[in-house]
Amino acid sequence: MNDWFKKERSYLFQNDELIGFCKDKRNDIVHKEMLIPNSQVAVGFTRGKGLKLGMSLPANPSEDSEMAILKYINFSINDEDGDFLGILYQEDDGSGEYTCVERIWRFR
């Protein structure tokens, strides 16, 4: 590393709050812990774009989204109200609504 770069890097780490914070967090992640993925899934229905109505469930980040629908089906079978949200359509009723899964990924 050349002297100019070392000097500039040192200056930024000491004088720029955001860059200093990011450096500290990077060091924590690299040297003390790892990035842990987190995932949440919502099973619901859509009409064109975006989830219109659904139910959020915790989801294992390594599980396929299909597992979320299977969990919802299992929940619906075992719940006395069944599919109370009306998410599980069996045929096109002309409304343009379709069953969908929306997945949100984050790092803890």
Distance CA 10, CA 40 (A): 39
State the SS3 of the chain.
Answer: CCHHHHHHHHHHHHHCHHHHHHHHHHHHHHHCCCCCEEEEEEEEEECCCCEEEEEEEEECCCCCCHHHHHHHHHHHHHCCCCCCCCCCCCCCCCCCCEEEEEEEEEEC
Report the candidate in 103, 36, 91, 98 with the shortest Cα–Cα distance to residue 67: 103
pLDDT averaged over every residue in the chain: 78
% of the chain with per-residue pLDDT over 90? 0
pLDDT tens, position by position, 71-103: 777 877 777 777 766 676 666 666 777 778 888
How many CA atoms within 13 Å lie on the side-chain side of 29?
A: 11
Q: For 23-50, what is each residue's pLDDT tens digit?
A: 888 877 777 766 667 778 888 888 777 7
